[in-house]
A and B are shown apart, each in its own frame.
Chain A
Amino acid sequence: MNPAQLYSQPAAYLVVAAFLLATGIFGLIRRRTLIGMLISGELIFAAASLNFMALNRFVAPDQSVGQIAVLFIMGLAAAEVAIALSIIIAVYRNYRSIVSKELNELNG
């Protein structure tokens, strides 16, 4: 494999996407605040988008479907961020904290 042609190898993109997924999972486990976990979730979204784009470019005969799927993922990610941030602000107003360990009361 010619190293100068690395950008035409699907494995390069897939390994980067796997790294993004692993970083997101690591952040979801290790972060103690809700916003940190939200950012890690965005990394996982990015990994999924990169996978879609790489397989769309190199494997699929139809070059448009993956791009449309990534556009939908971006829209869902934007909606998710809006909802999650409003929930976080509501939680902060009730608890004066968004540390996930302290959110241990239910109000039925």
Chain B
Amino acid sequence: MNSFPFSDWIVAAIFVTFIAITVTGALIAALTKRIIRSVCGLAICCLGLAGLYYFLNSPFLALMEILIYIGAVCVTIIFGVMLTEPDEPKPEQHTRPYPIISPIIAIAIAGGVFLGIAWLSLSVNWQAPAALTSDGSVKDIGIRLLTTYSVPFELISLVLLVAILGALVIARSGRTKE
């Protein structure tokens, strides 16, 4: 890896770029008023997450993240946006000081969670394992999914089947009444 000059810094810059993409996407997803921009923020966040998964030695999951989250979840949410009118309503006028207090409470809760977990993860000295029992390759994941984890694997397929059937039933039942 050190054959190319400044290769360490280039890799570090790419890593920081992926973190920035993730954080920016999360902020867009949580803060914008228009829901369609929020969905795009979620897609950007998942793109950055895929890069972080690549840095975590798992290119397979990076591809899965792009396929499932950007390709399936975000597109499905966009269909939901098309079928409803999801834009944020204007905040109604209160006589009590709700509009001032409620964002402060939300920021306090979220900031408390973030600072607490960040402090916890920075203060712990993470010990690397002494010896690796498997290398985490795609071949190993496939073998595990069909041997050790075959029951959860089948249960996931059952859950997806039930979810599809339930979604069809729920989304259709209102239509037949009208």
Residues in chain A within 8 A of chain B (CB atoms) = 3-7, 10-27, 29-36, 38-40, 42-43, 46, 49-50, 53-54, 56-65, 67-68, 70-72, 74-83, 85-90, 92-94, 97-99
Contacts and interface: CB of A to CB of B under 8 A. Distances in A.
A59 B128 contact: yes
A40 B41 CA distance: 11
Interface in B131-178: 131-136, 140-141, 144-145, 149, 152, 156, 159-160, 162-164, 166-168, 170-171, 173-175, 178
B106 A22 contact: no
Given A74-B64, A88-B84, A89-B83, 7 more contacts: A18-B114, A22-B110, A50-B52, A58-B126, A68-B149, A78-B73, A93-B178
Contacts, number: 249
B28 to A, nearest CB: 10
26 contacts: A7-B15, A15-B122, A16-B22, A18-B114, A23-B110, A24-B26, A26-B106, A26-B107, A33-B88, A33-B89, A36-B38, A43-B45, A53-B56, A56-B136, A62-B132, A67-B141, A74-B68, A75-B160, A78-B68, A79-B159, A82-B167, A89-B174, A90-B173, A92-B84, A97-B85, A99-B89
B73 to A, nearest CB: 5
Contact of A62 (B113, B126, B133, B171): B133
B88 A31 contact: yes
Contacts of A10: 121, 126
A68 B156 CA distance: 12
A61 B166 contact: no
A83 to B, nearest CB: 5
Interface of B: 8-9, 11-12, 15-16, 19, 22-23, 26-27, 29-30, 35, 38-39, 41-42, 45-46, 49, 52-53, 55-58, 60-61, 64-65, 68-69, 72-73, 76-77, 79-81, 83-89, 102-103, 105-107, 109-111, 113-114, 117-118, 121-122, 126-136, 140-141, 144-145, 149, 152, 156, 159-160, 162-164, 166-168, 170-171, 173-175, 178
